[in-house]
Amino acid sequence: GENVEQHPSTLSVQEGDSAVIKCTYSDSASNYFPWYKQELGKRPQLIIDIRSNVGEKKDQRIAVTLNKTAKHFSLHITETQPEDSAVYFCAASRRRGSQGNLIFGKGTKLSVKP
Amino acid sequence: GAGVSQSPSNKVTEKGKDVELRCDPISGHTALYWYRQRLGQGLEFLIYFQGNSAPDKSGLPSDRFSAERTGESVSTLTIQRTQQEDSAVYLCASSLRDTADTEAFFGQGTRLTVV
């Protein structure tokens, strides 16, 4: 089955700096890669996702890149703000038939210092 | 409903008792997932339902754990003979269908404490 590795487990940056979180996956058939943000005590919420036919996607200060050959994808947050502090999870899925389960990395705790 | 609903929000049970957790997915969502999140840890996959296909049970940690889903509606996760290590937040998520680019929405979770 799919295995997703996520690094780093913790990341501390100064407000205004950029943050990068990296993930690798094992199943070459995976074709959907979402990123979720979980604030303390709350449910995970989708912030951005990318499909395997796209190499990069941006949404304001957030961007995700995908390298299918190397089977890794990354989350980039620019001009970080204190409200970006949370745990971020990457995930991978085949999104096909009965094999569409969504497997998550272990998370990255991002702290943005004012 | 407006979102994924889970009940109860909190459950305290004695070691050795059975517990049943409920998830009401968003109406029309054919895919449903259960995850376990221990304190400060990641989202551990438990089981996945997709329509009428056989569920993917590969994440269930032991035979004390089981889950059912009636059609494309409510799902229940049952933990038999609970142990202290079962203490965690159990999260349910649903998505519209797995062949489209659709978001998985999470419920608020059930916090299970085994004493």
Mean pLDDT of the A71-88 span: 97
How far is it, in rounded angstroms, from Cα B10 to Cα B100?
33
> Does the pLDDT of residue B101 top 80, yes or no?
no
Nearest Cα neighbor of A87 from A64, A57, A109 is A109
Summarised one tens digit per residue, pLDDT across range A33-67 is: 999 999 999 999 999 999 888 899 999 999 999 99
Q: Detail the DSSP E strand segments found in A8-94.
A: 10-14, 19-25, 32-38, 45-51, 56-59, 62-67, 72-77, 86-93
Q: A100: distance to nearest CA of chain B, Å?
A: 6
Nearest residue of A to residue B110, measured between CA atoms = A43
> Does the pLDDT of residue B97 top 80, yes or no?
no
Nearest Cα neighbor of A83 from A31, A19, A24 is A19
Helix (H) / strand (E) containing B48 = strand B44-50
Query: Which pLDDT value is given to residue B6?
Result: 98
> Does the pLDDT of residue A23 top 70, yes or no?
yes
Interface residues of chain B, partner chain A, Cβ below 8 Å? 31, 33, 35, 41-43, 45, 48, 50, 53-54, 56, 58-59, 91, 93, 98-101, 103-109
Q: How confident is the model at residue B1 (pLDDT cuts 50, 70, 90)?
A: low
